[in-house]
Amino acid sequence: MSAQAAPARYSIAAIILHWTLAALLLFQLSLGWRMEELAGLSQFAAYQLHKTVGITILLLSLARLAIRIFVPRPATLKTSPALAALAGAVHALLYVVMIGGPITGWIIVSTAPIKVQTLLFGLIPWPHLPLGEGWHDPANAVHGLLGWLFAGLVVLHVAGALRHHILHDDILGRMVPRVWGARSALHAVAVVAVLGAVAAFSVARLLPFGGAAATEQAVAVPQPAPELALADNAIAEMAPQQNAATAGAEAGGEEEAVATAQAEEDEEESAAAQPEKAMPWQVQSGGRLGFRTEYSGSAIEGGFARWDADIVFSPEDLPGSRISVTVDLASVDSADSQRDDMLRGGDFFETATYPRATFRSSRITHRGDNAYRAAGTLSLHGQQKPVTLDFTLDIEDAKARATGSAQLSRTAFGVGTGQWASTDTIADGVTVTFDFTAQRED
């Protein structure tokens, strides 16, 4: 291409890709460093975002490289051979970083001992590369070196651009639309570019990635409140007494009325002396059903948004009491949509085949004070195993609050197969917790 045929500035597509990639690369560099400070669910969320941004950078970089090869660009500025060689090396190495960084990250994900499905933006599946685990460590080492290389290249690239701008070389004007190409406007462009670079780098340091709030799952259970008309019940209970007293007075005067009242009192005392039979209870909205385990040594918490319970209970009639709970496994919520999709899949809950988990008590015993234990059977993932629920129950009038927990072995139920069967990354023990209120159905 001759100098005379070269355009005055880059194409609009090249300009858009240049500034977009600059922002994404700075964000990605900052995010990569921050991931080392996170743990557990927060680190998992940052890792998923890092993969999405990385693949986006790879695709945009390939498009930018194609434009550089096939679309005419401005002529190279005249400068010393040493500076020209340095500028050429910086640009070439930037393409190495923009393309090599995502590819080595892709290799790391594809060859990890435990593979996690990559979903771009949480929606688009991205395949793993068909490579052996021997690629993992070298790719990991190169990936880290490319991050540091990019940090150095950014300093050189920005310094070179500012040098040309101070020397009145129209290099910055080539990478902005014509309307901003005037010398007076380029000063503002330079300031905005520097501030934008700082902002892009800082965003990853400020993103919350859930934090403590995301890991403390307390999923509310949407259940309708029972239709109890307490005032009407009270009136209905009083009416027979009033009617009986009136009838006694009309039939035989004061003595008969006293006798009737005494008979009613004796009947009430007799009823009070008998143990209260187990009665149905209706779980109220706002309850929680959660789980807790460990992922790479860090606590992971989640819960289920949809579940219901059939409870018949009385502290005085434990043999006649029973508890039955049904959980919609597809409603799992661990504060990360990609993780939740993985939990619903074939390696874990396999909700297409086993949509629900159920617990049915076989025996409830009193452990002292307000503590109880329900022994029963849990049906999960096609397996049935004995499970024990320990809970406390605080009853006041017709309302009660139950809190408790149970310990499970996920591998005993076949939850976590293939590469997830190992307990090195995801612990075998899972703690199920619950906290809800219930209203007695009189």
Tens of pLDDT, residue by residue over 211-263, are 433 333 333 333 333 333 333 343 334 334 434 333 343 444 444 444 455 55
Q: Are residues 119 and 130 in the same domain?
A: yes
pTM of the model: 0.55
d(CA 165, CA 309): 71
Kindly indicate the confidence band of residue 41, based on its pLDDT and cuts at 50, 70 and 90.
Answer: low
Q: Are residues 115 and 263 in the same domain?
A: no
Q: Are residues 301 and 240 in the same domain?
A: no
Q: Is the pLDDT of residue 209 over 70?
A: yes
Tens of pLDDT, residue by residue over 273-324, are 566 899 999 999 999 999 999 887 778 889 999 999 999 999 999 999 999 9
Tens of pLDDT, residue by residue over 110-139, are 988 766 778 888 788 899 999 998 999 999
Residue 372 amino acid letter: Y
Q: Is-contact 419 117, C-beta < 8 A?
A: no
Tally Cβ neighbours within 10 Å of residue 123. 10
User: Which pLDDT belongs to residue 219?
Assistant: 38
Kindly indicate the confidence band of residue 188, based on its pLDDT and cuts at 50, 70 and 90.
Answer: confident
Q: Is-contact 383 410, C-beta < 8 A?
A: no
Burial class (CB in 10 A: 0-12, 13-18, 19+), 277: exposed
d(CA 203, CA 235): 63
Any residues with CB less than 8 A from the CB of 326 and at least 6 apart, and which? 307, 308, 309, 356, 357, 358
Q: Are residues 141 and 234 in the same domain?
A: no
Question: What proportion of the chain, given as a percentage, has pLDDT over 90?
Answer: 51
Tokens of residue 275, six digits: 């143990």
Q: Are residues 257 and 170 in the same domain?
A: no
Is 291 in a helix, a strand, or coil?
strand
User: Which pLDDT belongs to residue 394?
Assistant: 94
d(CA 107, CA 297): 24
What average pLDDT does the chain have?
A: 81
Q: Is-contact 291 303, C-beta < 8 A?
A: yes
Q: Is-contact 110 421, C-beta < 8 A?
A: no
Kindly indicate the confidence band of residue 148, based on its pLDDT and cuts at 50, 70 and 90.
Answer: very high
Task: State which residues form the domain around 120.
Answer: 3-214
Q: Is-contact 125 87, C-beta < 8 A?
A: no
Of residues 304, 320, 313, 276, the one with CA closest to residue 400: 313
Q: Is-contact 318 366, C-beta < 8 A?
A: yes
User: Which pLDDT belongs to residue 228?
Assistant: 30
Q: Are residues 244 and 158 in the same domain?
A: no
Please count the structural domains in the chain.
3
Q: Are residues 313 and 262 in the same domain?
A: no
User: Which pLDDT belongs to residue 267?
Assistant: 53
d(CA 84, CA 81): 5
Tens of pLDDT, residue by residue over 407-437, are 999 999 999 888 788 888 889 999 999 999 9
Is 221 in a helix, a strand, or coil?
coil
Q: Are residues 142 and 11 in the same domain?
A: yes
